[in-house]
Amino acid sequence: MNSIDALRLEPAQRAQGGVTLPGSKSISNRVLLLAALAEGQTRLEGLLASDDTRVMLAALRTLGVAVDDSDPESIAVTGASRWPVMDADLFLGNAGTAFRPLTAALALMGGSYRLSGVDRMHERPIGDLVEALRGLGCEIHYEGRDGYPPLRIGAGNSEAARTVRVRGSVSSQFLTALLMAAPVLAARWGREVVIELDGPLISKPYILITLNLMARFGVEVAREDWHRFVIPADARYRSPGRYAVEGDASSASYFMALGAIAGGPIEVRGAGVRSIQGDIAFADVLEGMGARIERADHAMTVTGPVVARGERLQAFDLDFNLMPDAAMTAAVLALYADGPCRLRNIGSWRVKETDRIEAMHAELARLGARVESGADSLRVHPMAEDQWRVAEIGTYDDHRMAMCFSLASFGPVPVTILDPGCVSKTYPAYFEDFRRLIRS
C-alpha cells in the first residue's frame, strides 16, 4: 500500500507540546445554516474547513445563498428566510449535520428538492424527522428504503398544527433540525411553534449547542425540561454581525488523551471551560483515570503517566450518553487501564458514520484485546505487553475510527491506520498535528 492508503505508526514513548484545534464541526454547520436563514450578513471566523462543511457550503450556494469566501480568515454569509432557488438536487456526502437540518428547512420552504449522499448516508435513519415533518403537512418521499435517504421533497402545504412531535431516541439531530427550522414556521403561521419530544432524548449537550446558537442569532427558545420547546411567534433570525467558531471538543479528546498516556504536558487550545460543547467534559473522564488537568477559558492542559514505561490509567465504568464521540477515545484508552473498562449507553454509535460498536469491537480485537459488546455497551480489557499484535486498523470511512486508534501507537508494536485520509471529514491535518507532538 502507498502512503495514501495506509499510515504506519511506530511504537511511541512520549508526547509533549501544544495544538490549536480546528473549528467545531457541530457548531460550524449549525452556524452556516443559521447565517443562511438570518437577516443581514454574518461573518463567520474559525469555521471548520473539512468535507462536512464543504458539502454544506456547496448546498447553500446551490440554493442561491450568497457566500463570500474571499477573505482567508472568515466567510461571509448573507441570509434570507426564504432562499432563491426552489428546485435543486443536493448531494450531502455523509454529513448528518448538513443532511438532517437541511431536510427540515427545505421541507418548510415550499420548493422541490432532492437530497442524497454516500451509500452510508443512505443507511442512516431519518424516519423520525420525516414523520414529524409530514405531520406538519410537508411532502416528503423516500426514493429507496422507507425511513432512509435519499429523499425527494415536494412543495407540500404545511398545516398550522398545534404541536409537532418528534422522537429523539435515535439521534438528537432530528430535534436540532426542527428547532433550527422552526422560525420559518413561526413567520408563516404568525404564532408560536411548539415541539414536543415523544419519548427519551439522547445526546442532550448537542441540543444545548443548538439552543445556544439560536439565541446568538436572536431566537430564544423556551425549554420546559427536556420534553417541550416553544419558539415564540415573533421569532426571526438576525445576524450577530460576526461569530467566532470555537475549537472542536470531540477532536480535543484525542490530544487530551495523548497527554494522559504519554506524559505530556499537552496543551489543547481552542476549547476550554467556556466551551458550549458537551465533549469538553471528557477532561473529567481523564481526571478520573488519573490524569492531571489544568483548565483555562479556551484551553486544556493534560499531564499523565507514561504508559510506555508500564504505568497504568485507572479503569472506569461510565455512562457516555452525553459525549458519544469522545467515548470512542475512552474505548482505546481502556487498553492502558489497570482493569476492565465499561462504556454504557452508547447505542447511538450504531447509526453514526459506521456501526461504531461493531467497528470498535473488531479493531480492538485485531490489536489483541479481549472485548465484549452489547446493544448499547462495550467492555474492553487492558492488555499486557505480550498480548499486543501488529495490526492494520480498518477505519470504515469513519474519521473518528482513524483518529482514536492513533492512540494505539503507545503499545509495544507498530500499528497501521488504513485509509488515514478519512480524517478529512472533520480534521484534515490530524495526523500531521499528532506526529508533531511525539517525542523520541
3-class SS of residue 243 = strand
In total, the chain counts a number of residues equal to 440
**What are 273's three cell numbers?**
471551560
Phi–psi pair at 178, nearest 5 degrees: -65, -40
236 within 8 A of 312, measured Cβ to Cβ: no
3-class SS of residue 86 = coil
Query: b vs e for 333-371, b when ≥16 Cβ sit within 10 Å of the residue's Cβ?
Result: bbbbbeebbbbbebbbbbbbbbbbbebbbebbebbbbeb
Q: Is 397 left (phi over 0), alpha (psi -120 to 50) or beta?
A: left
284 within 8 A of 36, measured Cβ to Cβ: no
Chain position carrying cell 492508503 = 5
Whole-number Å distance between alpha carbons of 216 and 314: 40
161 within 8 A of 136, measured Cβ to Cβ: yes
Angstrom distances, CA of residue 391 to CA of 230, 368, 407 = 51, 9, 13
Q: Active-site residues: which are they?
A: 325
Whole-number Å distance between alpha carbons of 178 and 171: 12
Residue 237: CB partners within 8 Å, gap ≥ 6? 34, 37, 38, 39, 79, 81, 183, 214, 217, 218, 219
Helix (H) or strand (E) holding 184: helix 173-189
254 closest CA partner among 198, 328, 305: 328
